[in-house]
Structure 1
Amino acid sequence: MRIDRRQFMMGSAALAASLGVSPAFAQQAMLRLIFWGGQPRADRTYGVTDLYTEANPDVSIDGEFLGWEDYWTKLATQTAGGNAPDICQMDYRYIVEYARRNTLVPLDEYVGGVLDLSNFDEDQIDGGRIDGSLYGISLGSNAGSTLYNATALSNAGIEIDPMSMTYPELLEAGARFAEAQDGMKLLSDGSGVELLLENWLRQKGKALYTAEGEPAFEASDLIEWFQLWNELRAADACVSAEVQAADVGPAQTSVLTTGQAATAFKTSNQLVAFQEINEDNIDIAIYPKISEDSTGGHYRKPSMFFSVTSSSQDPEAAAHFINFFVNDIEAGRILGVERGIPADSEVRQAIAPELDEKSRAALEFVANLGELAGPLPPPPPPAAGEIEKALITKSQEVAFGMQSPEDAGQAFFDEVNSILERGSVN
């Protein structure tokens, strides 16, 4: 039989209480924390938990991190079983679903008390509100971005303007890059990247979802999207379906890190993590524009949140830790901008002069989007996570030649509507 440290301490505390003994740890707040990310994020996170427990010896924090896909599977299983960790990392596309199922604790009662948001950007606070209640505390702001291997592009004689590159330019440059680089392609396959599709739709004056949670695009848009990526594949501008299928999420398995592509469509806060595990110079650019005169489809969003789950036995202690995580300047120095630009203005101002080159580049990228950045879209519907997975599957079917763009575009549009209708019934 296996018993973890938290179970042991809880059992010991109960035994001590039954014997009339009050050891110090019997009064401890024991918090569990779960988040997605790689080792660099874990190192920064645990650096902050150590800093917090040193200042608050009556609190212990057990942390766990997983890759993106495994994270949501485990969190869903733990939530369904009623044993979710006290604090979970939450994404903008999933927070509505978890909040409306009453699996997260509203944090409004702690604001102004153990949770100080007085120096937070208002849009970062609003991003964590669902149906008028605050369920998520932003861990930073970011924007969609193209991370690219500047060393490989330079060696191939390819120049891009990181703040104005277009899909037509990348299509033309792809063949030249492939000829100059043995086995490396210019682009990763972005046809299954939801944020990239959303950016492309926004440039066309459309969106993924309306405020009511309905599709804000047509089947014809999806057909055009899949056709674009078929054209990029045909031009030898992006990796093959087989190569892209092995890119399962973590930075370590990305085609950018494995040297199979010179670009990856990510978010700005990931620049730091990618540079830490790549010897070549990794730089940052916008998502491609559909034409030179496009204003772009970017926006600044909460990169992720910390939320308190309904399973927590001490939500106030959890809120107190979150407050430290986002507001303490020393914690901010440890975290840097790996999770995005700090939402607290004092933390942001304190750490900005101390940032390394790539952290400053990520900060400046978000700050200097200008007219390329539009308003934050409404929170996605509860079924958005399922739709994102469906997009990945459908994009792979097109890439492998199992479906034409025409058939796939219509089929995916029908599936989106089916998922949303099913979600509204639930």
Structure 2
Amino acid sequence: MLNRRELLRNGLMLGGTAAFSQLPLRTAFADSATMRLYWWGTPARAERTLGVARLFEAANPDVKINGEVGGNDYWSKLTTMLVGGNAPDIFQLEPGRFADYARRNTTLPLNDFLGKSIRTDKLAPGVLELGTVDGKVAGMPLSLNAFALFYDAKAFKQAGLNPPGAATTWDEFAKLCVDLTKAIDRRNVWAVGNASRYTYAFDAFLNQRGKRLYGEDGKIGFDANDAKDWYGYWESLAKNGGCVSAEVQSMDQIQVDSNPLATGKAAMAIAFSNQLLGYQSAVKNPLGITNLPVSEPSGPSGLFYRPGLHFGIASTCENPGLAARFIDFFVNDMAAGMVLGVERGVPVNTDVKDAVVPLIDDVSKRTVDYISSIAGRVGAYPPPVPVGASEFDTRAFRPLADKVAFGRVTPAEAADQLVAEGGRILKG
């Protein structure tokens, strides 16, 4: 696991500077090759990712990298390509689905490349564990991030209200949301989006109760009472006018550009720290960042450091050596790191991080400062998600949250159904 003292000692917690020194570029390949790279994200991410691809091509003139960007249909397209035997050579995965894909043998273990094609000597301690599933490194963590709450600083100032902070409880947050919506006083604009459909927000809520979304046994780590409290909290907030309507909620596809904060329907969003740059690009007013509300001011934060996305090599990749060298370039090359910045999160290579941080813009620095500020409050990284986790999210957790919002089921009914569906989908 990531040890906080080790992280601080090795510089990942972001402080100080390091000399800008170019890590050596790899030699060009003798044979020409084409490789497909697939990811999702904002236009800014696409620009940065393709920028790194062009740098890699310049260092390896006989190599061509074809970048493919997915949108809200990313997962369905990826599944179709995997099933059809037409998988991209390298594809992006997020922590909530990563282990599921690895256990379905869609990604190639990286162990044989580590310390060779993929340099590991400058990776922060514990980083490779964030890409490990069942004893094998199934993908490379690209960065470090954490759950976060973004807020429109100008909206709070105009409302005469203090924004949420590190010790804001869920009850205090609910009152603040209602007060803020009233103060904004604009049709179809609320304080926050309805986060009842976000498994990661529920996970933080559970962590504060000493529980997990998924247990070590691969089954759900909560009971119906936990789910009822979660769904009930957001139902009550919606009824009191503190969060968006069911219609607006249903349009949120768990992407930056569809979140109510980005579409102008809300003044806050529960998201991931590395997404601040994407949200700020979509919002005119300056955004602040803090942690999610807590159950008790002095209690657990529910936070943990998480890999801010992975790159996996497809198990069907015809040139895994080339794919491994691209991943090495992506995380270890200094020039690549300068192009990527902290858009995906804090760099996992400590030399790259030390060189990038002093040069980043103010928005990116807010992300970095936030990651540093929670160093003493994070818990252990949870067990890998089980097979079926993505199905549990998209076919059970999210639809039931929407049914509660539209008044089709009560929070108690949704909770019972969620636990039953969890037992059906997650076999452990």
**Paired residue for 1:10?**
none
Partner of residue 160 from structure 2, selected from 153, 157, 162 = 157
TM-score (norm 2): 0.90
Residue deviations 1:93-120 (CA, integer Å, cap 9, x gap): 2222222222211111111111101111
- What amino acid does structure 1 have at the position aligned with 2:238? R
Pairwise CA distance, 1:121: 1.9
SS of corresponding position for 1:306? strand
**Paired residue for 2:342?**
337
Report the Cα distance in structure 2 between the residues aligned to 1:252 and 1:297, rounded to whole angstroms.
26
Partner of residue 105 from structure 1, selected from 84, 108, 112 = 108
Pairwise CA distance, 1:371: 3.6
**Paired residue for 2:400?**
394
Structure number with larger C-alpha Rg:
1
Q: 1:361 to 1:25 in 2, by over 3 A?
A: closer
Confirm or deny: 8 A CA contact 1:207 1:216 kept in the other structure: yes
SS of corresponding position for 2:171? helix
Pairing 1:356–2:343 present: no
Pairing 1:50–2:54 present: yes
Residue deviations 1:313-334 (CA, integer Å, cap 9, x gap): 1000000011000011111111
Pairwise CA distance, 1:266: 0.6
Pairing 1:35–2:48 present: no
Pairwise CA distance, 1:26: 10
**Paired residue for 1:20?**
none
Pairing 1:325–2:339 present: no
Pairwise CA distance, 1:173: 1.8
Q: 1:376 to 1:25 in 2, by over 3 A?
A: closer
**Paired residue for 2:131?**
128
Report the Cα distance in structure 2 between the residues aligned to 1:370 and 1:119, rounded to whole angstroms.
20
- What amino acid does structure 2 have at the position aligned with 1:42? A
Residue deviations 1:350-372 (CA, integer Å, cap 9, x gap): 11100111111101111210343
Pairwise CA distance, 1:238: 0.7
Partner of residue 78 from structure 1, selected from 74, 78, 81 = 81
- What amino acid does structure 1 have at the position aligned with 2:58? E
Report the Cα distance in structure 2 between the residues aligned to 1:96 and 1:216, rounded to whole angstroms.
17
Pairing 1:420–2:423 present: no
Partner of residue 68 from structure 2, selected from 43, 52, 64 = 64
SS of corresponding position for 2:126? helix
Q: 1:64 to 1:337 in 2, by over 3 A?
A: same
Report the Cα distance in structure 2 between the residues aligned to 1:260 and 1:110, rounded to whole angstroms.
46
Residue deviations 1:27-66 (CA, integer Å, cap 9, x gap): 3121000001121110110011011111110110000011
Confirm or deny: 8 A CA contact 1:255 1:264 kept in the other structure: yes
SS of corresponding position for 1:262? strand
Pairwise CA distance, 1:130: 1.3
Report the Cα distance in structure 1 between the residues aligned to 2:91 and 2:263, rounded to whole angstroms.
30
Pairing 1:405–2:402 present: no
SS of corresponding position for 2:252? coil
Partner of residue 273 from structure 2, selected from 268, 271, 275 = 268
Confirm or deny: 8 A CA contact 1:124 1:301 kept in the other structure: no
Pairwise CA distance, 1:344: 0.7
Identity among equivalent pairs (%): 36
Confirm or deny: 8 A CA contact 2:100 2:385 kept in the other structure: no
Report the Cα distance in structure 1 between the residues aligned to 2:30 and 2:346, rounded to whole angstroms.
38
Aligned alpha-carbon RMSD (Å): 1.6
SS of corresponding position for 1:108? coil
Pairwise CA distance, 1:155: 1.2
Report the Cα distance in structure 1 between the residues aligned to 2:265 and 2:141, rounded to whole angstroms.
34
**Paired residue for 1:201?**
206
**Paired residue for 1:316?**
321
SS of corresponding position for 1:380? coil
Partner of residue 177 from structure 1, selected from 174, 180, 187 = 180
Confirm or deny: 8 A CA contact 1:99 1:135 kept in the other structure: yes
Gaps (5+ residues) in structure 2? 1-27
- What amino acid does structure 1 have at the position aligned with 2:62? D
Confirm or deny: 8 A CA contact 1:32 1:61 kept in the other structure: yes
Pairwise CA distance, 1:224: 1.1
Pairwise CA distance, 1:161: 4.1
TM-score (norm 1): 0.91
- What amino acid does structure 1 have at the position aligned with 2:51? G
Confirm or deny: 8 A CA contact 1:93 1:381 kept in the other structure: no
Aligned residues: 398
**Paired residue for 1:226?**
231
- What amino acid does structure 1 have at the position aligned with 2:254? G
Confirm or deny: 8 A CA contact 2:178 2:237 kept in the other structure: no
SS of corresponding position for 2:66? strand
Partner of residue 115 from structure 1, selected from 108, 114, 118 = 118
**Paired residue for 1:145?**
148
**Paired residue for 1:246?**
251
Partner of residue 217 from structure 1, selected from 219, 222, 229 = 222
Pairwise CA distance, 1:25: 11
Q: Which one is further off, 49-58 or 161-170?
A: 161-170
Gaps (5+ residues) in structure 1? 1-23
Confirm or deny: 8 A CA contact 1:295 1:372 kept in the other structure: yes
SS of corresponding position for 1:78? helix
Report the Cα distance in structure 2 between the residues aligned to 1:39 and 1:249, rounded to whole angstroms.
16
**Paired residue for 2:197?**
192
Pairwise CA distance, 1:190: 0.6
Pairwise CA distance, 1:158: 1.6
